[in-house]
Amino acid sequence: MCRKQSIVQRVCQTIVVAAVATVVTSASAVVITDGPKEMIGVGVEEQLGVEVPRKLPFRDHNGLPTTLGKYINGERPVLLSLNYSNCPMLCGRQLNDLVRALNEPGMESWNAGREFDVISVSIDPTERPERAKQTHKRYTQEYGRAGTADGWHFLVGENKSIEQLADTVGFRYKYVPETREYAHAATLIVVTPEGVVSRYINGVGYDPQTLRLSMVEAGDGKVGSTMDQILLTCFIYDHTKGRYGPQAQKIMKVGAAVTIFILGVTLTPYWLFRRRTRAPEQRIVEPTTEQQT
């Protein structure tokens, strides 16, 4: 028992250290290279631009055969996560934070199954569809939006499919036999409608604006409001912070364009009115000297 607690404590301590390192140094790629042997090699190696293997076989939370291509089908962007239902801590925290962010102000018009999809793939090959269905029910109820349950998919599969997907997207995890748990990181992978990895949002505590703009960017104009598109031109993704930040030059350009537009709309009626009022005045002919005599 003491041995098991010791391993768990060491693993948790290493996760905390890795999380701090992610915040302090970079939000792009963190793989643990030092610490307890259970954590060596665990983390995320970002593979931006790779294509997700959409033909890999899985089963959905209803037990039906499926593939990633059923959901990544060219229609809308996807938020992809790798978790497992029996995770004692990190997975629950990640998915709870995701639900919270999706329900924050500014996300009212973004609905799973319409503007985007969420795919949560279990990294535990022993997880059954019945267990995944319980997890699906829990988080879709927490999400609490009518008609969105079909937009969040919990998939289970054989080890071969899981490992191939994880290897493709750079998700490095490890099974710890002593605790019968998986050592892994937390990341959201933003995938374009065509199946290309567009962005990684590492860690937990997701920023709603970062989620929204990441999906707007991945959707390439297929999703998001006009204001979202404008914001995307003014903000650039900051890898050191894992979120979008303002880009001064673009903001100034957009601000100048908006100012010119507003001035044009405001002053055009005034100019037209002046032209109409001055026209009769210009047609009045001043009397000549002979006429005055």
Q: Do 28 and 158 belong to one domain? A: yes
Query: Alpha-carbon Rg of the chain, whole angstroms?
Result: 28
Please determine, for residue 84, whether its predicted confidence score (pLDDT) is greater than 50. yes
By C-alpha distance, which of 68, 26, 32 is closest to 197? 68
| DSSP-H helix ranges across the chain | 2-24, 90-102, 129-143, 159-169, 208-219, 226-234, 248-283, 289-292
CATH number of the domain within which 51 lies: 3.40.30.10
16 and 149 belong to one structural domain: yes
User: 232 in a domain, yes or no?
Assistant: no
CA-CA distance, 293 to 283, in Å (whole number)?
23
Same domain membership, residue 188 and residue 68:
yes
- Asked whether residue 227 is assigned to any structural domain, the reply reads no
Other CB atoms closer than 10 Å to residue 101's CB: what's the count? Answer: 21
Q: Are residues 129 and 60 in the same domain?
A: yes
> Do residues 256 and 151 both lie within one domain?
no
Confidence bin at 274 (pLDDT 50/70/90): low
Question: 219 with 77: CB under 8 angstroms?
Answer: yes
Placement of tokens 């018009």 in the chain: 109
Q: How many domains does the chain have?
A: 2
Residues 208, 269, single domain; the answer is no
Residue 32 has a pLDDT of 86
Inter-residue contact 211 to 189 (CB < 8 Å):
no
Q: What percent of the chain has pLDDT over 90?
A: 57
The reply to whether 111 falls in a domain is yes
d(CA 262, CA 268): 10
Residue 32 is classified by DSSP as -
User: Predicted confidence band at 91 (pLDDT cuts at 50, 70, 90)?
Assistant: very high
Q: Are residues 23 and 103 in the same domain?
A: yes
> Tell me: the pLDDT tens digits for 239-266?
555 554 555 444 444 445 455 555 555 6
- Cα angle 123, 17, 47 (rounded to 5 degrees) comes to 45
Residue 82 forms beta bridges with which residues? 121
- Alpha-carbon span 59 to 292, nearest angstrom: 102
Instruction: Tell whether 236 is covered by a domain.
Output: no
| Bridge partners of residue 172, in order along the sequence | 43
Residues 79 and 201 grouped into a single domain: yes
DSSP assignment string, 55-78: T-EEE-TTS-EEEGGGT-SSSS-E
Q: What is the mean pLDDT of residues 19-23?
A: 39
Q: Are residues 212 and 256 in the same domain?
A: no
pLDDT tier, 35 (very low <50, low <70, confident <90, very high otherwise): confident
pLDDT in tens, 182-224: 999 999 999 999 999 999 999 899 999 889 888 988 887 544 3
pLDDT at position 44 over 50: yes
**Phi-psi domain of 162 (left: phi exceeds 0; alpha: psi -120 through 50; beta: other):** alpha
- pTM score of the predicted model: 0.71
What pLDDT is recorded for position 284? 52
Expressed as residue numbers, the domain containing 142 is: 2-221
Domain end, chosen from 172, 204, 221, is at 221
Same domain, 73 and 185: yes
